[in-house]
Amino acid sequence: MPSLESGVTLALRNRFPWHGFDPGRVALIHRGWFANAIIFRYRDQAYDLAIKDFSHSPPLIRETLGRFFIAREHRILQHLKGVPGIAPGSCRLSDTMLAYPYVEGESLAALRRRGARLPATFFQALEKTVRAMHLRGIVHLDLRNLGNILCGIERRPYLIDFQSALRIDRATRRLQALLRAADLSGVYKSWLALCDEPLALHKRRFLERFNQVRRLWPLRGYPLAGRLGRLS
């Protein structure tokens, strides 16, 4: 049976036929629960890539969610090209495999696990990236998960994992505010988890209000977005 690594190498060779890809340079870096993709890293002197691969998921997942997530993440990353702190584009290796530049560093989830701390400037830069993404009409929607924010070796923030991201330019203003608030709540949540400097009072209040509305949301649904009008 071919190894997981050889599938990635084959896809890379098909996409970049002029380069000699070596299966020995593929490393598995993350394996989520069964419906999630496997994340590989391919590194040699010319390429350093993270590769999201659904090709080994159960066929039903691969052919539905897998294809859908890869197509969506690729589309969104193309739309966000040029936003600092977001991978400068992505490359579709197949219907179920996507490659983007590897970010040398660690996720905030890993930093939190080992008790590391980050300066306020990191989170200010993170908020700037999130607001720049919002200006392009995109919300990420999974930033409360600290595995989706990376800290590069030069201590700059990077957003990854746009498979639940959405274009919101056609949504109502209230819904847009609610969805943007969900992203900002992830920024402030990560500040509280990893920074010794205090979060500004108005941002703490924003987070408290968001958390309250979030708790009620499944019960009352979208109309609660009204209370969030004040959050934007």
**Interface contacts to ligand ADP, rule CB under 6 A:** 29-30, 32, 36-37, 39, 50, 52, 87, 100, 102-103, 107, 147-148, 150, 160-161, 163
Residue 79 interacts with, from ligand ADP, Mg ion, none (CB under 5-8 Å by kind): none
Residue 176, C-beta contacts closer than 8 angstroms, at least 6 positions apart? 168, 232
Range 6-11 contact pairs with CB under 8 angstroms and sequence separation of 24 or more: 7/53, 7/55, 7/56, 8/40, 8/42, 8/51, 8/53, 8/93, 8/97, 9/42, 11/51, 11/93, 11/94, 11/97
30 binds, among Mg ion, ligand ADP, none (CB under 5 to 8 A by kind): ligand ADP
Q: Could you tell me the smallest distance in angstroms from the CB atom of residue 36 to Mg ion?
A: 8
Select 70 or 184, whichever has its Cβ closest to ligand ADP.
Answer: 70
The site partner of 190 among Mg ion, ligand ADP, none (C-beta below 5 to 8 Å per kind) is none
How many Cβ atoms from other residues are within 10 Å of residue 221's Cβ?
9
* In the complex, minimum distance from the CB of residue 147 to Mg ion, in angstroms, rounded to a whole number: 5
Q: Report the residue number, 163 or 176, with the smaller CB distance to ligand ADP.
A: 163
Residues in contact with Mg ion by the rule CB under 5 A: 147-148, 161
